[in-house]
Structures are given as structure tokens and as C-alpha cells.
């Protein structure tokens, strides 16, 4: 007869002695585990992402639609400090999903996440995820992520988002409308794919190992430079740093090596305003041409 062991929980600090120095780096390298628990395919963008004088634990990207995902983690019971930080980072990083990871959640904090899911727009998603470590006897430690709170109908939303012909959110429809007009006005854009409901549209410069990304936000549009998918922002920053002065002068915007958006340039405008659409398209087209031309002209970039 088979012999069965007993699955036991062990304190999370046996696995990680320090939150910032041990757990956050481990989580950044194992986003697939967390993503599987919440139903998102996550790609690491930056750890300790700066928001004014604060720093979010992990900024990730939802691979499906390129939207930002904020991950705030701790190794102690949930507290008001982390809840407040989440709201600060949410605005500063233009995130569409928030994942709060902790080994134990107080009921008022679960209620807060529940309230946010019930009272914010459908485009936003908030998760409370319990971190556990288990083992059987002397077996290796195994981390587990248990989702305690998630948006209502989350599974249905995931299924719907995988079907291009499926029902889109109002925000998605607005983005698709703009990018469709953008591509109709600029025929050369067909080289970079068909219009989608994503928040950004990219121009890959494969020979330079860089990407020029144009984005849409609620109160602004803009563009910036980043590395290819799955490239750590720190590596891209190291490549660009020696050329920062030249690039800043020629692009007309400063270099911030601590941000995942290098040489970002913004235009304060609402892209949903049809009366502004032509001006926005002309501005994005001109700045895209400038960025691509400058990057291609610098031999040091490869």
C-alpha cells in the first residue's frame, strides 16, 4: 500500500529572509508562477520602479495587451502602508492591474480590494494573493499562490479577451478607433501590424536591439525607447547611458536611467477627442520619424 505524506505549511521567512533583497528578486524571476495563479502572462519590466520619491516593488507587462501590471509584495501580514503605496503607484505607473502579495491579509484590506473591483472601471483589476510555502517531510520547499480576491467574472473576462472578435471594453474600443485612424492616415504603419485595442504600438529596430513605443494614456499620448521583449530595462539603460547627452540633445528630452521608459516625450491631450485626432497623429508621426532617424544614425548602437 502506498505511503502518503502530510503537506505542511512553513513560515515564509524560511524561504526568504528579507523582503527587498530576497523575495522581490525571486518573484521578479518567477512571474510565471504568479501569472498562472491570476490568469495573466506576465513579463518583467522593472524592479523598484520609481514613482517620485517612492519605488514600486515590481512593474510587469501583461503580454496579451501590453498594459502595465503593478506587483506589491510583502513577507508580513497586510498593512495600511502597502495599501496606500498601491494607490500611489497605480496612478504614477499607469497600471491596469494590481497584484498584492502577502502571507496573510487582514479582512479590512480584503474588503478594500473587493471594493476597488466593484467600483472601478472594468479595465482595472485588483488581486489579493496569499503567499504560502509548503513541503512534505524533508522535501524541498514549494511556494504557492492562493488568490483570495479577484475581479468579478474574471474567468469570463479572460476568455473574452483572447478572442479578437469578442466584445471589447469601452477603453479598448477607444484605443482601436484611434489606432485605426492612425494607420489609415499613415499607410507605412502597416509594416508594424494591424490596429489593435492595445495601449501602445511599437516600431522595432531589430538592427539596433531597441524599440520605439508610442502609447495612449487618459490625459496624454507619447513615445519612448525600450529594449525588446524580455530585456531587462537595466541592460537597455547601460547601453544608452554613454550616449545620453547626444540622444537628449537630438531627441529633445532628458534621460532617466531609473525609469523603464527611456527618453520619454509626452503631449498633454485626450486622444478620445476627435477634434484633436489629426494633431495627435501628426505629432506622433513626426516624433516617431525623429526617434527612428536618430537611433539609426548612431553607429555606437550597433
Q: Name the strand (E) or helix (H) holding 287.
A: helix 277-297
Q: What domains are there in the chain, each with its CATH number?
A: 7-161 (3.40.1350.10), 170-301 (3.30.1460)
User: Lowest-confidence range among 41-45, 53-57, 76-80?
Assistant: 53-57
Identify which has the larger pLDDT, 121 or 245: 245
φ, ψ dihedrals at 98, nearest 5°: -125, 130
Q: Where are the beta strands (DSSP E) in the chain?
A: 7-10, 42-51, 54-62, 68-73, 95-102, 125-136, 142-149, 200-205, 210-216, 220-226, 262-268
The confidence score (pLDDT) of residue 45 equals: 85
Reported as a pLDDT band with limits 50, 70 and 90, residue 163 is: very low
pLDDT at 162 over 60: no
| Alpha carbon distance 119, 106 (integer Å) | 20
**Site of grid cell 508594424:** 192
- What CA–CA distance (Å, rounded) separates 214 from 265? 10
Tell me the per-residue pLDDT of 175-203, one tens digit each, with 9 for 90 and over. Answer: 889 999 999 999 889 888 888 888 889 99
pLDDT of 253: 95
Lowest mean pLDDT among 71-85, 91-105, 156-170, 238-252: 156-170
The rounded radius of gyration (Å) of the Cα atoms in the chain is: 21
Is-contact 193 180, C-beta < 8 A?
Answer: no
Predicted local confidence at residue 165, as pLDDT: 35
- Determine which of 4-13, 14-23, 88-97, 139-148 has the lowest per-residue pLDDT on average: 88-97
CA 292 – CA 4 distance, rounded (Å): 61
Q: Which residue has the cell 554613454?
A: 242
Is the per-residue pLDDT at 18 higher than 50?
Answer: yes
The single-letter DSSP state of residue 189 is G
Query: 16 and 203 in contact (C-beta within 8 Å)?
Result: no
Q: Determine what percent of the chain is predicted with pLDDT higher than 90.
A: 45
What is the rounded end-to-end Cα distance, in angstroms, of the chain? 64
- Residue 172: pLDDT over 90: no
Rounded-to-integer distance, Cα 242 and Cα 59, Å: 25
Q: State the pLDDT confidence band at 290, using cuts at 50, 70 and 90.
A: very high
- Residue 49 pLDDT: 78
Q: What is the mean pLDDT of residues 156-179?
A: 65
- What interhelical angle do 80-92 and 107-119 show, nearest 10? 30
Angstrom distance (rounded) from CA 25 to CA 71: 12
The arithmetic mean of pLDDT across residues 163-169, rounded, is: 46
Dihedrals φ, ψ of 173, to 5°?
A: -65, -40
Q: What distance in Å separates the CA atoms of residue 128 and residue 254, rounded to the nearest whole number?
A: 37
> Quick one: average pLDDT of 211-224?
90
- The phi and psi torsions of 249 (rounded to 5 degrees) equal -65, -45
DSSP for residue 188: G
CB 99 within 8 A of CB 67: no
Give 145 or 167, the one with higher predicted confidence. Answer: 145
Cell 539609426, located at residue: 296
- The stretch 219-237 carries a mean pLDDT of 83
Q: pLDDT averaged over the chain? A: 86
CB neighbourhood size of 6 (10 A) = 7
Q: Average the pLDDT over 192-217 and give the result.
A: 88
Instruction: Report the distance separating Cα 277 and Cα 285, nearest Å.
Output: 12
Average confidence (pLDDT) over 134-148: 88
Q: Which residue has the cell 497623429?
A: 281
**pLDDT tier at 2, thresholds 50, 70, 90:** low
Amino acid at each position: 500500500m502506498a505511503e502518503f505524506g502530510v503537506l505542511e505549511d512553513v513560515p515564509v521567512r524560511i524561504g526568504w529572509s528579507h523582503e527587498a533583497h530576497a523575495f522581490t528578486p525571486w518573484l521578479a524571476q518567477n512571474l510565471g508562477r504568479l501569472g498562472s495563479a491570476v490568469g495573466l502572462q506576465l513579463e518583467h519590466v522593472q524592479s523598484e520602479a520609481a514613482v517620485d520619491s517612492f519605488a514600486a516593488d515590481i512593474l510587469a507587462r501583461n503580454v496579451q495587451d501590453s498594459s502595465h501590471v503593478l506587483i506589491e509584495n510583502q513577507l508580513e501580514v497586510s498593512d495600511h502602508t502597502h495599501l496606500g503605496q498601491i494607490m500611489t503607484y497605480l496612478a504614477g505607473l499607469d497600471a491596469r492591474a494590481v497584484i498584492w502579495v502577502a502571507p496573510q491579509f487582514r479582512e479590512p484590506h480584503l474588503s478594500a480590494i473587493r471594493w476597488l473591483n466593484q467600483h472601478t472601471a472594468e479595465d482595472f483589476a485588483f488581486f489579493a494573493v496569499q503567499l504560502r510555502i509548503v513541503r512534505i517531510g524533508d522535501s524541498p520547499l514549494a511556494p504557492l499562490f492562493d488568490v483570495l480576491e479577484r475581479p468579478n467574472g474574471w474567468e469570463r473576462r479572460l476568455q473574452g479577451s483572447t478572442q479578437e472578435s469578442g466584445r471589447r471594453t469601452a477603453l479598448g474600443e477607444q484605443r482601436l478607433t484611434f489606432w485605426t485612424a492612425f494607420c489609415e492616415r499613415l499607410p507605412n504603419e502597416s509594416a508594424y501590424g494591424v490596429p489593435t485595442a492595445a495601449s501602445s504600438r511599437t516600431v522595432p529596430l531589430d538592427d539596433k536591439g531597441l524599440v520605439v513605443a508610442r502609447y495612449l494614456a487618459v490625459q496624454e499620448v507619447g513615445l519612448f525607447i525600450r529594449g525588446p521583449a524580455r530585456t531587462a530595462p537595466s541592460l537597455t539603460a547601460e547601453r544608452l547611458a554613454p550616449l545620453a547627452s547626444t540622444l537628449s540633445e537630438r531627441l529633445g528630452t532628458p534621460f532617466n536611467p531609473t525609469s523603464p521608459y527611456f527618453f520619454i516625450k509626452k503631449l498633454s491631450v485626450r486622444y478620445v477627442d476627435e477634434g484633436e485626432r489629426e494633431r495627435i497623429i501628426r505629432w506622433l508621426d513626426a516624433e516617431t520619424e525623429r526617434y527612428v532617424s536618430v537611433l539609426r544614425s548612431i553607429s555606437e548602437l550597433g
